[in-house]
Chain A
C-alpha cells in the first residue's frame, strides 16, 4: 500500500475552529497563559467544549518536556492522549498533521492542536553569556547563524536569476503592509521600499525588516472528521492534502531551511494527495523567516517558473489583490515567529480566508484552495486546504 492510496482511503478531515493569542512580547505571560487563550478562542470558534476533544497535540520548540500537558491542563484534565511535537519552526503544523492522520484513520473524531512559544531576544544561535568555554567552533567563528543561511540562498538566486535586493525587500514591504490589517500581528507598521533597503543590514542582502523577529505567542485549532463537523462549524475547511519530509543528500548545498529542490518534491506530493495543482491555489502562506524564503518558496510551490519569483513579487502578483496572494496576514516577518506557534497561525489565516472571514485582508473572488508551507531546520510540513 502506498501513501497516496492510503490517504485516499482515509476519512475526510477538517478544521472547524481556529484561535490565536496576539504575537508579540509577553514577558509576564507563560506559555500556559498564551496557550490557554488561543485554545479558548479556537473552542469558541468551533462552538466546542474541551470535553469534546479526544486527543491533544502541542507544538513547541524551546519549551521543555511536559509543555503540552501543562498547557492543556489549563483548560481541563480529561485523561486524553497528549503528545508534544517538535519540528523546530514547523512544530505546530506537524501537530495538526499527526491529528489529521489519527482522525483520518478513524482512531478519533475530534482533536485539539495548539502551538506555543516563549523566546529570548536576539540572534538564535548566540553564545549565552559566561558560556564561552562551551562555545563551539562554529559559534566562535561566527558561523551557523540563521540569517546567514537564508542570505546564502538569496545570493545564489541573485547570481543565477538576476534577482535584486529590491525584490527581496519588496517581500517585506508587502508583508509589513498586510500586517497593518492584522490585529494579531506582532508588528503593524508599513514601510516603504527605501525604508526596508536602508534600515540596518543583518546579513547581506537581508536588512532588519526582512528578518522575522523572536516572538511570544500561541495558536490553536480544532480538527475533526468531516462526518462530525456539522456539530461545530457550518464552514468546515478540509485538509485535502499534506506533505512532510527532509532534504535528500546532495554533495554541495546550503542545507537547513534553504530548499534546493526539497520543497518542489514535497509540493508535488501535496498537490497529488489533494488532487489539485499549483494553478488551483487561490491563497498561500509560505515560510518567510527571512524575505528570500518567500521568493524561493513561491517558485518551488510552482506558483511561477524557477527564477521568476523575484519578478512575481515585484509585479504585485503576491499582493492581496494580485494573482496569488501570499502571506496575507504579514507572514513570519511581520506577524511574528513564535517558533512552536507559527504552523497553526499559517493554517488559521488560510482557514479565515477560505471562510471569507479575513476582513480587510480578505482575498477577493471567493478563494477555495489554500496552501501552507512551513519549514523547520531542514524539515518541511505543507498542507492544501479546501472549502
Chain B
C-alpha cells in the first residue's frame, strides 16, 4: 500500500483579510477592498463602498506599511487566545489608505502614536495535517 506524501503548506490561521501565496518563497500580504469609483479602502470582503455607495470593489494588496494610529498594551490574558500577554492591540493607518487592527508583540516600550510600522507574518500553530497556520503582526520599522 503506497503512502501519499502530503505537502506541508502555509495557510492562514483563519480566513482574515490576507493572502498566503502557494509559492513558499513569496511573501504573504494583507488585502483591502478598494472602491474603484472613489478610491476609499475597506476591510477585505466589503461589497458596497461606505463613502460613495457604489458596488465596484477590487482586491488591493497592501505593501504592508503604515503609521501607528493608536495602541494599548494588554495585560489581561484572553483565555484561548494564541497571543500571550503582554502584547499590544493596535490600529495601523496604512500608507495607501484604510486601516488594519493588529497585535504587536515586539518592542512594546518603544511604541508611540504616529510611528512607522511594517507587517510581518508568523506561524501561530501547526495543524493536524502539519500545515503552518500563519497570522499577521506589525512591528516598528527599524531606522538606520
How far is it, in angstroms, between the C-alpha of A196 and the C-alpha of B135 when the chains are bound? 35
Given A140-B80, A251-B51: A156 touches B69 (CB 8 Å cut-off): yes
Task: Report if B37 contacts A (CB, 8 A).
Answer: no
Task: Report if A132 contacts B (CB, 8 A).
Answer: yes
Given A152-B91, A251-B98: A126 touches B79 (CB 8 Å cut-off): yes
Nearest chain A residue, comparing its CB with the CB of B80? A127
Nearest chain B residue, comparing its CB with the CB of A205? B72
Q: Which residues of A contact B114 (CB under 8 A)?
A: 159
Q: In residues 110-138 of chain B, which contact A (Cβ within 8 Å)? A: 112-114, 124, 135
Q: Which residues of A contact B70 (CB under 8 A)?
A: 152-153, 155-156, 159, 254
- The interface stretch among B1-9, B19-27, B57-65, B82-90 is B82-90
Please give the distance in Å from A375's CB to the nearest CB on chain B.
18
Pick the contact of B89: A129, A135, A142 (CB < 8 A): A142
How far is it, in angstroms, between the C-alpha of A143 and the C-alpha of B82 when the chains are bound? 11
Task: Report if A139 contacts B (CB, 8 A).
Answer: yes
Task: Report if B93 contacts A (CB, 8 A).
Answer: yes
Nearest chain B residue, comparing its CB with the CB of A158? B113
A interface residue numbers (CB < 8 A to B)? 122-123, 125-127, 129, 131-132, 135-145, 147-148, 151-156, 159, 200-206, 249, 251-254
Given A132-B80, A140-B13: A251 touches B91 (CB 8 Å cut-off): no
Q: What are 14 A-B pairs at a CB distance below 8 A?
A: A125-B78, A126-B80, A127-B79, A127-B80, A135-B80, A140-B81, A147-B74, A151-B72, A159-B114, A203-B89, A204-B74, A251-B98, A252-B93, A253-B99
How far is it, in angstroms, between the C-alpha of A115 and the C-alpha of B135 when the chains are bound? 41
Given A142-B103, A252-B93: A156 touches B75 (CB 8 Å cut-off): no
Please give the distance in Å from B129's CB to the nearest CB on chain A.
15
Nearest chain A residue, comparing its CB with the CB of B85? A142
Q: Which residues of A contact B74 (CB under 8 A)?
A: 142, 145, 147-148, 202-204
Given A140-B14, A145-B89: A123 touches B113 (CB 8 Å cut-off): no
Determine whether the beta carbon of A145 is less than 8 Å from that of B135: no
Q: Which residues of A contact B13 (CB under 8 A)?
A: 137, 140-141
Q: Which residues of B contact A141 (CB under 8 A)?
A: 13, 81-83, 103, 124, 135
Q: Which residue among A122, A126, A142, A252 has the maximum number of chain B CB atoms within 10 Å of its CB?
A: A142
Known contacts A152-B91, A156-B113; 13 additional CB pairs below 8 A are A127-B78, A127-B81, A137-B12, A140-B82, A144-B101, A147-B74, A152-B90, A156-B70, A201-B75, A249-B51, A251-B40, A252-B99, A254-B91
Nearest chain A residue, comparing its CB with the CB of B17? A137
How far is it, in angstroms, between the C-alpha of A127 and the C-alpha of B83 when the chains are bound? 13
Given A142-B87, A254-B70: A123 touches B14 (CB 8 Å cut-off): no
Please give the distance in Å from A202's CB to the nearest CB on chain B.
5
Q: Which residues of A contact B80 (CB under 8 A)?
A: 126-127, 129, 131-132, 135, 139-140
Determine whether the beta carbon of A137 is less than 8 Å from that of B51: no
Q: Which residues of A contact B98 (CB under 8 A)?
A: 251-252
Determine whether the beta carbon of A143 is less than 8 Å from that of B113: no
Given A147-B76, A203-B76, A251-B40: A142 touches B113 (CB 8 Å cut-off): no
How far is it, in angstroms, between the C-alpha of A373 and the C-alpha of B93 when the chains are bound? 29
Determine whether the beta carbon of B89 is less than 8 Å from that of A139: no
How far is it, in angstroms, between the C-alpha of A120 and the C-alpha of B13 when the chains are bound? 28
Nearest chain A residue, comparing its CB with the CB of B72? A151
Determine whether the beta carbon of A140 is less than 8 Å from that of B93: no
Q: Which residues of B contact A140 (CB under 8 A)?
A: 13-14, 80-83, 124, 135
Nearest chain B residue, comparing its CB with the CB of A122? B79
Determine whether the beta carbon of B14 is less than 8 Å from that of A136: yes
Q: Which residues of A contact B99 (CB under 8 A)?
A: 251-253
Q: Which residues of B contact A123 (CB under 8 A)?
A: 76, 78-79
Nearest chain A residue, comparing its CB with the CB of B18? A137
Please give the distance in Å from A291's CB to the nearest CB on chain B.
13
Q: Which residues of A contact B72 (CB under 8 A)?
A: 147-148, 151-152, 154-155, 203-206
Q: Which residues of A contact B141 (CB under 8 A)?
A: none
Please give the distance in Å from B121's CB to the nearest CB on chain A.
12
How far is it, in angstroms, between the C-alpha of A200 and the C-alpha of B78 when the chains are bound? 15
